[in-house]
Amino acid sequence: MTGGFKEFENYMRLELNRSSHTSEAYIRDINQFATWLTGGSTETFDYASVTTQDIRAWLGSIAHANAPASIRRKTQSLRAYFHWLLKNGKIKANPASDIILAKTPRRLPEYIKDEEIEKLLTILDTEDDYKTQRARFILLMLYATGLRQEELRQLTDDDIDFSLQEAKVTGKRNKQRIVPLAKEMIEEIRKWQKTRNSKYPGLNKSAPLIPGINGKISKGNLYKQVHDSLSGIPASHKSPHLLRHTFATAMLRNGASLDAVKEFLGHASLSTTQIYTHLSFSELQASYRSAHPRSKQNHDIQADEV
């Protein structure tokens, strides 16, 4: 009995409007489970015979090698898959529905200090070669707009409205939003397009804003551009998402409202955006402890008592 993995992936993409990244991750998780359950013979995988005990045993077997967040997602992948089978009348009950999701620690997002990212952009701007200018433009777009890496990959020239100074962004589940662009950013885009067109002459209006060998730049290449460019930045995860965190933190620290940042980031819920207020509050606490006389006095007393 086949698992219908391809049909489930199509359901994820076409009916639920899940991103390719999410769909691929879910299918990968389900394949891992099927491989474990069948001892490598996935063609013999029988979804109708899967029990809750099977799923718990698999999750237990991989718990030591996976972070809680990964275990949580793998559980969600199986829940969604068996829910789809149940919905289509292929099984009578969802064996993953009673599995408790692993708790994940709520970590404060890392960010880059304003002066560090500005210094990096200035250094990159001293180099005229195409690859360096492309890396600089990618960093600048992510930092100045808060876009997700996939949103940046999907941007085309048609999505940029120079007269209105805005970009039309397609986010998760194909939801579109308008992101305003500063005058300086408009000038940077025009500058980049000239550089890009010299490398790829003859591009039409629907061309990717950041092209690659085959159309738009690949996910792997974009990630590598950011990771390599941030090599000197003190952060544990030098990823495009780090620049998204940096954008949100800079906005809130400089007076933007939480609702405004939510709209910029394309968050569905305000609770997702609120983690950045926690970050700002932790900075306030640190400033208070280091600057206020009463706080410094209490700190000195505690230090003496140790």
Known catalytic residues are 148, 172, 241, 244, 267, 276
Which two tokens mark 240?
């495009």
DSSP 55-117: HHHHHHHHGGGS-HHHHHHHHHHHHHHHHHHHHTTS-SS-TTTTPPPPP---PPPP---HHHH
What amino acid occupies position 87?
K
Q: What is the distance between the alpha carbons of residues 284 and 181, in angstroms, rounded to a whole number?
A: 30
Nearest alpha-carbon partner for 248 in 276, 224, 274, 220: 276
What amino acid occupies position 224?
K
Q: What is the distance between the alpha carbons of residues 189 and 204, in angstroms, rounded to a whole number?
A: 16
Which two tokens mark 281?
């509050």
Show the beta-strand stretches assigned E in 181-264: 211-212, 215-216
Nearest alpha-carbon partner for 206 in 239, 168, 246: 168
The phi and psi torsions of 160 (rounded to 5 degrees) equal -100, 120
Q: What is the distance between the alpha carbons of residues 62 and 67, in angstroms, rounded to a whole number?
A: 10
